[in-house]
Amino acid sequence: MLMNAEVSLSCEGIERFLGEDDSRVHALRGVSLQLERGTVHAVVGPSGCGKSTLLYILGLLDHADSGWVTIENEAVSHLVDDALARKRNELLGFIFQFHFLLEDFTAQENVMIPMRRLAVLSEEQMLERSAHLLDAVGLGSKLKRPSRHLSGGEQQRVAVARALANNPSVILADEPTGNLDSANSRRAFELLQRIVQEERKALLLVTHNPEIAEACDWIHEMQDGRIVESHSRGHRISVRAGA
């Protein structure tokens, strides 16, 4: 696999077993991956092939049974829970299929939640940054609107703004357009793509949408817990499992 030197996130030989005893499943079988700054990677594959499991391990929400994860050239697999939480807060941004906003909070308050945990900005600075981020995703006029009163597309854009709140190096998205119509899907993806390119971030998204996958810089096809093929836009390079 051809990668440039500016690696934001990488993993090597990730193995993960889910369930116990008879129901034990070998969900990931030696997955390796590298995400460089300014690139968009899509993970595709049938349901149950291990896409989301890989995403949660890379997002430090789940642990690998073997293998290691590096973020910004620092190995993080061995870190304790509090340290992992800090890494998630500082370096990672998550976008989920069902956007997962706090319904009782306004759009602006949702965006400010990661900033509050980081505790670097003052209240005024947080208000200013969250307003700027929401403005960037086209929601500058709906800052104070409770998130439950926003449309699906708007909620997903709030989720994008929230993922960018702490200026993370890596954005991980689990079917970010899965709950949107095609027009909104395209708009949301283009927004993410623009942010990644402009701000030199790395984006890994899990998707079932072939149009979106084809628009990514890299596509990784997964099957039975392995990346069976990775190719850049316009090129096809087969990769053996565990390679």
Chain residues in the site for another protein (CB under 8 A): 47, 52-53, 56, 59, 61-62, 81-82, 85-90, 92, 94, 96-98, 100-102, 104-105, 109, 113-114, 116-119, 162, 166, 174-175, 178, 208
Shorter beta-carbon distance to another protein: residue 102 or 237 = 102
What region does 143 belong to: left with phi over 0, alpha with psi -120 to 50, or beta? alpha
Q: What whole-number distance in Å separates Cα of residue 9 and Cα of residue 39?
A: 11
Question: Crossing angle, helix 107-118 and helix 81-91, to 10 degrees?
Answer: 130
Q: Which is nearer to another protein, 36 or 163 (CB)?
A: 163
To the nearest whole angstrom, how small is the minimum distance from the Cβ of residue 93 to another protein?
8
- Closest to another protein by CB, 69 vs 101, is 101
Contact 221, 227 (CB under 8 A): yes
The Cα 164–Cα 135 span in angstroms is 13
Minimum CB separation of residue 109 from another protein in Å reads: 8
Query: Shortest approach of another protein to residue 3 CB, angstroms?
Result: 27
CB of 13 to another protein, least distance (A): 20
Residue 190 corresponds to which tokens in the numbers above? 């283009």
- Cα 229 to its chain centre, rounded Å, is 20
Q: Which is nearer to another protein, 123 or 214 (CB)?
A: 123
